[in-house]
A and B are shown apart, each in its own frame.
Chain A
Amino acid sequence: MRYAVKWSKDAMMQYISHLDMMRLFQRALKRAKIPLMYSQGYSPHPKMSIAQPLSLGYTSKGEYLEIETAKDIEPFLLQQSLQQALPKGIGIESCRVLERTKKALGALVDYAAYEIRFPMALPSQWEQVCRAAAAFQKAERVMVQRLQKKSATIQMVDIKPLTEKLSVKEQGQCLEALICTGSRKNLSPQLLLEGLSSFAQEGKWPGEARICRKELYTTLSDGKLLALWRLS
């Protein structure tokens, strides 16, 4: 049976990398005695994946693990036993059976919602955040430099069309953003911040940002967004 497991990662766990999380889940599933299906072929590996890697140093409330188990388990039991086998700092938010969804979750991701906080910022800097966000909204194009990993070259990209929504909360102490994520189009929150900071007065941009991913979305055929946990 295939399952989508939604999980969260708190500040304690923010430095555990994607690869380490994979190993952690593999061990946790073993501790919880949840047997996985294995892929066929020369070097079989367990059918388990994380929908969208999260950068080191981010927390999250909307991560997804996709697994295929060798036996059918009630989703709430799966949630319970997996939660018990996990260290503090990782929470299982929900667990659903995937029946109609055939594609891998990772291939479905189009957008991610982020919350970006500036814990160390002063009120004068909050103001900068508000102004920059307003200017960003108005701008037709927002060009930033992006390092192309494969070719190791720097390219200029327009991040405006990659930013679906941007709103200011708590007088500028916090931003909420919905941005393109996944294999088709992708914008990192870090790059978004770079674009934003170019609208701020020199030296006034709050340096330290705390980034939390809130949710992952896929696009339906009618163009509407659907949070991954609603897939079945």
Chain B
Amino acid sequence: MDNHQKILAAEEVLRKLEVHLRRAEKPARYTGGELYQAEKDPGQELLRFAFAFPDLYEIGMSNLGLQIIYKVLNDIPDVYCERVFAPGLDFEAIMREEEIPLFTLESKTPLYCMDMLGFTFQYEMSATNMVNMLELGRIPVLSCHRSKEDPFVIIGGPCTYNPEPLADIADLFFIGESEEALPEIMDCLRSWKKEGGSREEFLRNISRIEGVYVPSFYQVEYFPDGRIAKRVRLWEEAPLKIVKRIVEDLDRAPFPQKPLVPFIATVHDRAMVEIFRGCSRGCRFCQAGMIYRPVRERSKETIKALAEAQLEATGYEELSILSLSTGDYSQIQPLVEELMDYCKKADVSMSLPSLRLDSFSFRVMEEIQGYKKSGLTFAPEAGTQRLRNIINKDISQEEIESAALQAFSLGWNSIKLYFMVGLPGETREDLEGIAEIGKRMVELYRQVNGGKAGRLQVSLSASNFVPKPHTPFQWIAQNTQEEFTEKHHYIKDQLKSFKQVRFHYHDSKTSYLEAVFARGDRRLCAVLLEAVRLGCKFDGWGEHFRYDLWMQAFENTGVDPDFYACRNRQDEELLPWSFIDCGVEESFLTRERDKALGGEITKDCREGCQGCGVNKRFSCAAWEREGEAQNEICR
């Protein structure tokens, strides 16, 4: 398809939008044109890339990854990266009725005109939306049906650390952080377009880029009982292992100073600066804590410069600093103090997610206006010390209590605590422990407030444990839905006479499907397509989630979901994601799992390397510091 045809296709979309867009619930989701939108001339020779977020505009536009990739790609002069989101159900109906293909916000070009379409896979339950978006964009859903005219579909994001459930859909996956790899991928695409080779040739070339995984180069064989027997390469030069990519020096990594500023309110409508990547705490249930290793910090000066540049460019009224655990930043005190100084002058408020519960945090929170309204939140994750040791969550009863006491004496009236149920090794006492912590909050509040607790609101929120790939618990069965439900009721019963304490829990059905897809294999593709055919989409939105249709899809395709969610795996089993190398070694994961079951904790590796293995592939600052210290001693 030449440029002229693409421009005509876009004009056709535009004409239809002029008539029908006004019928949409929120037309501004589809208009684009926001401040700092990239503008390029589609008449020129461009590589056309659509960054596709498989959820609504308001969700997708809050994603920092989108802003980073948008900048990285559009900084390349001959690359035009545009955006596309999942249309709301109301507008999808209009699009289908009026035969409007799914289009990019910037130039209103149909997706089938792109050279490459890149999905970000952030959440297991967004898979149906990806399939639906491909259909709406008139791109064959299965990679094997795509021809030379069709775009390449690349999928990245945290969920691709187990890419297999989407193996038949993606032409290629990208595993890890893409800032440095995207220009390489674009180079590859550019030369392939010039030379006019086959799709296969492009895929062969691109598979040489570190972090790229081309699923069609492999075949998976199964044992009669359903376990994977082996992975066979269909092209002998395809890599056996796919090693994730990371950016080693965050200070030099590209970061948006002029992010797109949406017109309509989004979930996180504010300036955002990422202060570090990775986490050294080693919570055993946490996938992010494993796959994003090693810890890499952005320098304080760079963070400040980025924050100031963003605020100046956007006029945002709020700044947020992001990381997996804000309080662990090595220079958190001076950073926060200096940022607060700047924000005060600039009349900007600040939000600091995931601070530690120490006295410094309280001082900061006191200073940040409006904090009290939102209430104090923290995540003990489990109800007893024993279980917290098992999951390696480093927070003690005393810490919880002293934080609550401080908060109450500073005038806080509401407190939110996050837990998980269904963790490995969990007993009745652990469930009671969750309720006990809630009750203890009431007691402490009374102590501070002269016996009264009328204004107190305690919220206990329990999610259902979903075992994730690349964690020490990746072999372990998830609780059944019945077990979850029973546990929820058990905790609820404990709290009957405490009207200040509210207990919330997640839907077990959603958690069950998350677990199926988190550890699924290629056979789930068929289920996914069937679910979409039956009408599943926006599964992450409780009101749209159709569990009955999903179960129907499993039945129609003859796939047993329990096989994925509720089954303990042996160490020898070949796991679907075993060829993805995130740097953390499997031996570390088994060791951590065994320690967990013995109730033994593993310290934060800033206090000493725990041998996760990531330093063998990437430079790990914590490990290197330790090495230097040891050299000192030897000398």
- A and B are interacting partners: yes
Chain B residue contacts of A88, Cβ below 8 A = 33
Asked whether A27 and B21 contact (CB < 8 A) given A15-B27, A20-B28, A89-B33, the answer is no
Complex-state Cα separation, A24 to B33, whole angstroms: 13
Judge whether B261 is part of the interface by a CB distance below 8 angstroms. yes
Judge whether B98 is part of the interface by a CB distance below 8 angstroms. no
Decide: A87 and B22 in contact? CB cutoff 8 A.
no
Complex-state Cα separation, A11 to B315, whole angstroms: 24
Decide: B317 and A24 in contact? CB cutoff 8 A.
no
Complex-state Cα separation, A105 to B207, whole angstroms: 63
Judge whether B377 is part of the interface by a CB distance below 8 angstroms. no
Complex-state Cα separation, A15 to B28, whole angstroms: 5
Judge whether A12 is part of the interface by a CB distance below 8 angstroms. yes
Judge whether A166 is part of the interface by a CB distance below 8 angstroms. no
Residues of B88-144 whose CB lies within 8 A of A:
none
Decide: B315 and A57 in contact? CB cutoff 8 A.
no
Complex-state Cα separation, A31 to B35, whole angstroms: 12
Decide: A12 and B263 in contact? CB cutoff 8 A.
no
Decide: B33 and A87 in contact? CB cutoff 8 A.
yes
Decide: A31 and B31 in contact? CB cutoff 8 A.
no
Chain B residue contacts of A20, Cβ below 8 A = 28, 263-265
User: Quick one: closest B residue to A56, CB to CB?
Assistant: B27
Complex-state Cα separation, A24 to B35, whole angstroms: 10
Decide: B28 and A27 in contact? CB cutoff 8 A.
no
Q: How many residues of B contact A (CB 8 A)?
A: 22
Chain A residue contacts of B314, Cβ below 8 A = 27, 31
Chain A residue contacts of B263, Cβ below 8 A = 13, 16, 20, 24, 87
Residues of B188-218 whose CB lies within 8 A of A:
none
Complex-state Cα separation, A30 to B21, whole angstroms: 31
User: Quick one: closest B residue to A25, CB to CB?
Assistant: B315
Decide: B34 and A208 in contact? CB cutoff 8 A.
no
Instruction: Convert A208-230 into 0s and 1s, putting 1 for each residue whose CB lies closer than 8 angstroms to a CB of B.
Output: 10000000000000000000000
Residues of B243-272 whose CB lies within 8 A of A:
261, 263-265
Chain B residue contacts of A29, Cβ below 8 A = 315
Judge whether A37 is part of the interface by a CB distance below 8 angstroms. no
Instruction: Convert A12-34 into 0s and 1s, putting 1 for each residue whose CB lies closer than 8 angstroms to a CB of B.
Output: 11011100100110111111000
CB distance from B385 to the nearest CB of A (A): 43
Q: List 29 A-B contacts (CB under 8 A).
A: A13-B33, A15-B21, A15-B22, A15-B26, A15-B31, A16-B28, A16-B264, A17-B264, A20-B28, A20-B263, A20-B264, A24-B263, A26-B315, A27-B314, A27-B315, A27-B316, A27-B317, A29-B315, A30-B315, A31-B313, A31-B314, A31-B315, A57-B27, A85-B315, A87-B33, A87-B34, A87-B35, A88-B33, A208-B19
Judge whether A120 is part of the interface by a CB distance below 8 angstroms. yes
Q: What is the size category of the interface that chain A forms with chain B?
A: 20 to 34
Closest 10 CB pairs of A and B: A27-B315, A30-B315, A15-B27, A31-B315, A15-B28, A87-B35, A16-B263, A57-B22, A12-B33, A20-B264
CB distance from A11 to the nearest CB of B (A): 8
Chain B residue contacts of A26, Cβ below 8 A = 315, 317
Instruction: Convert B23-49 into 0s and 1s, putting 1 for each residue whose CB lies closer than 8 angstroms to a CB of A.
Output: 000111001011100000000000000
Chain B residue contacts of A57, Cβ below 8 A = 22, 27
Judge whether B312 is part of the interface by a CB distance below 8 angstroms. yes
User: Quick one: closest B residue to A120, CB to CB?
Assistant: B19
Complex-state Cα separation, A129 to B16, whole angstroms: 25
User: Quick one: closest A residue to B316, CB to CB?
Assistant: A27
CB distance from A27 to the nearest CB of B (A): 3
Instruction: Convert A66-90 into 0s and 1s, putting 1 for each residue whose CB lies closer than 8 angstroms to a CB of B.
Output: 0000000000000000000101110
Chain A residue contacts of B34, Cβ below 8 A = 87
Q: In the complex, given contacts A31-B312, A31-B314, A120-B19, what are 5 additional A-B residue pairs having Cβ atoms less than 8 angstroms apart?
A: A16-B263, A26-B315, A87-B35, A87-B261, A89-B33
User: Quick one: closest B residue to A19, CB to CB?
Assistant: B265
CB distance from B83 to the nearest CB of A (A): 15
Complex-state Cα separation, A31 to B309, whole angstroms: 11
Complex-state Cα separation, A88 to B315, whole angstroms: 16
Which of the listed residues A17, A31, A89 has the most CB atoms from chain B within 10 Å of its own CB?
A31
Complex-state Cα separation, A24 to B263, whole angstroms: 7
User: Quick one: closest B residue to A21, CB to CB?
Assistant: B263
Which of the listed residues B19, B28, B31, B263 has the most CB atoms from chain A within 10 Å of its own CB?
B263
Number of A-B contacts (CB under 8 A): 51
CB distance from B312 to the nearest CB of A (A): 7
Decide: B261 and A27 in contact? CB cutoff 8 A.
yes
Instruction: Convert A116-130 into 0s and 1s, putting 1 for each residue whose CB lies closer than 8 angstroms to a CB of B.
Output: 000010000000000
Chain A residue contacts of B18, Cβ below 8 A = 11
Chain B residue contacts of A24, Cβ below 8 A = 263
Residues of A146-199 whose CB lies within 8 A of B:
none
Complex-state Cα separation, A56 to B312, whole angstroms: 29
CB distance from A154 to the nearest CB of B (A): 23
Residues of B313-336 whose CB lies within 8 A of A:
313-317
Chain B residue contacts of A23, Cβ below 8 A = 265
Chain B residue contacts of A87, Cβ below 8 A = 33-35, 261, 263
Complex-state Cα separation, A89 to B31, whole angstroms: 12
Complex-state Cα separation, A29 to B315, whole angstroms: 8
User: Quick one: closest B residue to A46, CB to CB?
Assistant: B347
Chain B residue contacts of A85, Cβ below 8 A = 315
Complex-state Cα separation, A24 to B317, whole angstroms: 11
Chain A residue contacts of B22, Cβ below 8 A = 15, 57
User: Quick one: closest A residue to B26, CB to CB?
Assistant: A15
CB distance from B591 to the nearest CB of A (A): 51
Complex-state Cα separation, A87 to B31, whole angstroms: 13
Complex-state Cα separation, A88 to B35, whole angstroms: 8
CB distance from B25 to the nearest CB of A (A): 11
Chain B residue contacts of A28, Cβ below 8 A = 315
User: Quick one: closest B residue to A24, CB to CB?
Assistant: B263
Chain B residue contacts of A11, Cβ below 8 A = 18
CB distance from A28 to the nearest CB of B (A): 6
Chain A residue contacts of B347, Cβ below 8 A = 30
Complex-state Cα separation, A17 to B312, whole angstroms: 24
Complex-state Cα separation, A206 to B520, whole angstroms: 55
Which of the listed residues A15, A17, A20, A56 has the most CB atoms from chain B within 10 Å of its own CB?
A15
Instruction: Convert B286-321 into 0s and 1s, putting 1 for each residue whose CB lies closer than 8 angstroms to a CB of A.
Output: 000000000000000000000000001111110000
Chain B residue contacts of A208, Cβ below 8 A = 19
User: Quick one: closest B residue to A208, CB to CB?
Assistant: B19
Complex-state Cα separation, A29 to B261, whole angstroms: 14
Chain A residue contacts of B19, Cβ below 8 A = 120, 208
User: Quick one: closest A residue to B37, CB to CB?
Assistant: A87
Complex-state Cα separation, A208 to B20, whole angstroms: 10
Complex-state Cα separation, A89 to B19, whole angstroms: 19
Complex-state Cα separation, A89 to B317, whole angstroms: 23
Chain A residue contacts of B265, Cβ below 8 A = 20, 23
Complex-state Cα separation, A23 to B316, whole angstroms: 9
Instruction: Convert B147-164 into 0s and 1s, putting 1 for each residue whose CB lies closer than 8 angstroms to a CB of A.
Output: 000000000000000000
Complex-state Cα separation, A57 to B18, whole angstroms: 11
CB distance from B368 to the nearest CB of A (A): 16
Complex-state Cα separation, A11 to B31, whole angstroms: 10
Residues of B51-104 whose CB lies within 8 A of A:
none
Chain A residue contacts of B316, Cβ below 8 A = 27
Chain A residue contacts of B21, Cβ below 8 A = 15
Chain B residue contacts of A12, Cβ below 8 A = 31, 33
User: Quick one: closest A residue to B313, CB to CB?
Assistant: A31
User: Quick one: closest A residue to B262, CB to CB?
Assistant: A20
CB distance from A17 to the nearest CB of B (A): 8
User: Quick one: closest A residue to B29, CB to CB?
Assistant: A15
Complex-state Cα separation, A31 to B619, whole angstroms: 40
CB distance from A13 to the nearest CB of B (A): 8
Complex-state Cα separation, A11 to B265, whole angstroms: 20
User: Quick one: closest A residue to B23, CB to CB?
Assistant: A57
Chain B residue contacts of A15, Cβ below 8 A = 21-22, 26-28, 31
Complex-state Cα separation, A17 to B27, whole angstroms: 10
